[in-house]
Every structure is written in C-alpha cells, then in structure tokens.
Amino acid sequence: GHTAIEEYITLKYGDVGKKIHTGRSRNDQSLVMLRLYMKDKLSELTSGVQQLASLFENKGTEASDVLMPGYTHMQKAMPTTVGLWLGSFACALRDATIAMEAATRQIDQNPLGSAAGFGISHLQLNRQMTTEALGFERLQANSLYCGFSRGYFENIVLQALSQCMIVMSRFAVDMMMFTQQETAFFSLPDEFVTGSSIMPQKKNYDLFEIMRANGRVYGSLQQQVQQIVTGLGSGYHRDLQVTKKAFIEGVSLCSQSIELMHQIVPALRIHQERLRSAMTRELYVTDEVYKHVANGMAFREAYQKVKAEFFAHTTANAKASASDNGAAATH
C-alpha cells in the first residue's frame, strides 16, 4: 500500500513523488495511522459511554423509590430499589471513562519520524512540526519506543474499553434473569425480542444473550493482542501485523454494544406490580436483626434470635400448606 501510493504520486506529479518516503518507514507510517484511529475511536467511545451513564441515571431517577429484591448468590437477599440498581451501572460506566481518558493521554504521542525504530541520520526532521500538524498532544521522542508501542498501545486501548464491555455484559445477565416469566420485573418493546420457529408464544430476549457472549468474545480479542506482544522483544516483528485484526474487531464490537445499549435503556419498561409482589418476607429479615441491634442487643444474639424465628415460621407454614394440600386431596 505505501509503495503503491508513492508510485501513484510519482506517476501523477513526477520526481517529487520519489521523495515522499524520505525520513519515513512503513513502520512509523503504520503507527501514525493506527494512532490516529485510536484517538478518534477513544474520543467517540468515551462520549458514548458518558451518554450511556446518563441514560442509566435518567431511567433510575424515574424509578428511584420503586422497591425491588436485591440478590446475592442468585437468591433473594435484601430490599433495594430500581433506582439504586440502575444507578450502579451508571457509576460503573462513569468509572470506566476514567480508564478510557487515561488511555487517550497515554497514546496521544506522535511516532512519525522514528522510521524503523532507530530514527534518521543526516537529516534534521522537524518532528515537532508534524506533531502539531497531525494534532498529537506531544512527540513520542524515543524512536525505539515508537516501534515498541506497536501492539502495546493497542492492548492499552482494549484494556481500557474492556471495563465498559464488562459492565454491559453484567447488565445483560441481570436482564436475562429479570425478564424471564418467573420474575418479569422488566420488559422491552417487541422490536427488541425474537420469536421461535416452532413455539408461537415465545418472546426471547436473545439480544442479552448475544451481549453476554460478546463480553467474552471481546476478552478473547484483547487477550490475542496481549499474548502476541507479551512474547516479543523490542523492535519490529511481523507478529505485530496479526494484532491489527483483533484490535479493529474489538473496537468495533465495543462500539456496536454501546450503540445498542443507547436504545435499550430508554426503552426499558418497569413493572411495578411484579416488583411489589416479589418483596417477600425473607428480604426484611436482616432489617429485623438491626432493629434489635439498634435497641441494644448484641449483633450475634440478634442474628441467632431472628434466624430461629424465621425458620420456625417457615417450617410452620410449610407444614400447614402440606396439611391443606393433603386434606384437599382426600376430598
């Protein structure tokens, strides 16, 4: 590609085209192209994640006082609110932009003029001029580090983007649990769901299944880049060319996921009646413990007391239910 450009300019403009490669190498030219792509994408995606955090905050504000069960180990734990749940994703995404902004500062360096990694003798290249013309924050002064940063900077960018990918994947897992018929706390309009080729009644939230899978696919792409560069010494190695495909695919996957989330969050429907009916007695057991603690009882004593009372009540209810079912069966 680089030689083809030189030949085209020479054919069109004459001998001046033969000078275009002066002080340059395919290495530093490739670095510049990738570096500019990284800057553009980090700027675009950082803005996208900030907007997504705001969407979560806005949706959470709409339901700030709506109670919902909190879960640990996939089991009911303590009461929480829809606002707190949605807000947790907003906070995580805000923190994710810190890493993205840090990555931007780290990679915003001009490698042009480093040539094959050893600079150019006999010519005084004005690398500061190209730094300003290309819009870089600063010059990447050490020429060997310029070559070293190929693949290394790609990995830094993918690591930074991985945080928002993790957040989106975890939201997808929650949504798979909270949209199933047994819970049905939330839903999305029909344009977000798919049907079945054999079961007419099905509405499948497989967009969240794909999002969950893409979280893992993204991790594998980031690891491809990291594992390739980890095994290399300094200087250029042809292995680095293999990192480009995984890097571009990873950035694209992150971009697509953010765009989809921009549509999902505002469209999220909150079913308050289903949430209210899910606020069962066991969610308030810990609250009972701390009522006793607030009145002066030692925590462990309160814990044991409330635990015994809860399971005695549960056992009694189970026996009564079994007795009623048995009586109904005899009639």
Active site residue 73: yes
Residues 6+ apart with CB under 8 A from 223: none
Residue 166 near residue 243, CB atoms below 8 Å: no
Active site residue 114: no
Q: How far apart, in whole angstroms, are the C-alpha atoms of residue 304 and residue 320?
A: 24
Q: How far apart, in whole angstroms, are the C-alpha atoms of residue 71 and residue 79?
A: 9
DSSP for 107-146, written as a single string: H-EE-TT-TTTT--SS----HHHHHHHTT-SEE---HHHH
- DSSP category for residue 179: S
Residue positions counted in the chain: 331
Residue 140, CB-side half-sphere exposure with 13 Å CA sphere:
30
Q: Could you say which of 73, 121, 122, 197 is catalytic?
A: 73
Q: How far apart, in whole angstroms, are the C-alpha atoms of residue 29 and residue 32?
A: 5
Residue 153 near residue 136, CB atoms below 8 Å: no
Q: Output the CA–CA distances (angstroms, integers) from residue 246 to 37, 221, 228, in the order listed.
A: 14, 5, 11
**How would you class 316 by CB atoms within 10 Å of its CB: exposed for 0-12, middle for 13-18, buried for 19 or more?**
exposed
Q: Could you say which of 47, 196, 321, 323 is catalytic?
A: 196
172 beta partners: none
Catalogue the active-site residues: 73, 196
